[in-house]
A = this chain, B = another copy of it.
Amino acid sequence: MASSVTRPTRDVTRDDVARLAGVSSAVVSYVVNDGPRPVAEATRLRVQEAIEKLGYRPNAAARALITGRSDLIGLIVPDIRNPYFAALAQAAEEAARARSVNLVLAQGTTGSLQPLVESLTGHRVAGIITATIPEPEAVAVIVRNRIPLVRLSLAMPSDGPAIWPDYAGGARSAVRHLVEVHGHRRVALVIGSDHPDWPDEPSDGREQGWRDALEDAGLTTEHLIRVHWSAAGGREAAHRLLAEHPAATAVFASSDQQAIGLIAGLQAAGTSLPDDIAIASFDGSPDAEFTVPPLTTVDVPLAAMAADAIGEVLGIPRTNRTYPARLVLRRSCGCNPA
């Protein structure tokens, strides 16, 4: 293979660029980092030509040291194996790439975030996005290090930037559909709580939306089952539904994972779906399409949420202020779309 071309046999350095452009190494740094000193336009062009010609890629670590910021963004999720958070991570990774930053993935549940956050701050991350509700100690580390924090979860106004879907509106539309279109009078709620130790946590809009829809129709809100936000939790809910709430004819499950476990548990017990029990759910994760019967679910605009979270961290104004959640009809609710 010809070896006469530009491919370098060692890393190209800032000094190489400086030499070719006929400037000092410091000037190259000013161009690369857009400061701290101004550079004349003609000089800037000469440096950029030299960078391109030599294939110089400034070391990200060096750039982080100079600017005090890296092009890394930390994303914290409670459980990447949950398809909802996997889809969120995917959306965030794509949004990050569109902004030429990289995503550091960290997994942690409420109460265990402090060491994670310390590790991320050690990298001078440009910001932290968390879908896990952080404990106060973890927030203190972030604040002390002056790192932008964006929550992808319910939060109080005092918590700073937070992005979440229209939980209440989405839940209301699903429950209304079960009541108004399919005529159910007793609709159970299956909902989770990951953090029983955080009583101050804002109440989940999904529960409120379920209550609102039933109360508006003059129906009972007595059928409430609290289990883990997981398929295993949903399977447990199936047993409790059959044993403790035999009068319920429909269920609104607060996550697709809970609905998947609910379907497995109900079918194992010989329940016919949606004839004996109709189901609607919340998340809009990809696997909702492949349950038997396919799952009617409230689809969350993850791509928009993730893009705005990445933008917020980088100081870019948000595209959206609200994140409407849209009911997608399949067969589990009793509908019969193609």
Contact = CB atoms under 8 A, between A and B. Distances in A.
Interface of A: 7, 11, 57-62, 64-65, 70, 72, 75, 79-81, 83, 86-87, 89-90, 93-94, 100, 102-107, 118-124, 144-145, 231, 235, 260-261, 263-264, 267-268, 286-287, 289-292, 294
A90 B83 contact: no
B231 A287 contact: yes
A81 B87 contact: yes
A117 to B, nearest CB: 12
Contacts of A264: 289-292, 294
B80 A93 contact: yes
Given A89-B80, A264-B290, A61 B57 contact: no
State the copy count for this chain. 2
16 contacts: A11-B145, A58-B122, A59-B124, A61-B64, A72-B104, A72-B123, A89-B105, A93-B105, A93-B106, A102-B104, A102-B106, A104-B105, A105-B105, A231-B287, A231-B290, A263-B290
Query: Interface SS of chain A: helix, strand, loop or mixed?
Result: helix
A62 B60 contact: no
A61 B60 CA distance: 8
A107 B90 contact: yes
Given A59-B122, A231-B289, A292-B292, A94 B80 contact: no
A286 B260 CA distance: 12
A290 B261 contact: yes
A6 to B, nearest CB: 13
Given A80-B89, A264-B294, A94 B123 contact: no
A103 B89 CA distance: 13
A235 B106 CA distance: 33
Nearest to A264: B290
A70 B58 CA distance: 15
Contacts of A294: 264
Contact of A81 (B86, B122, B145, B263): B86
A7 B326 CA distance: 47
A102 B124 contact: no
A103 B287 CA distance: 26
A229 to B, nearest CB: 14
A123 B61 contact: yes
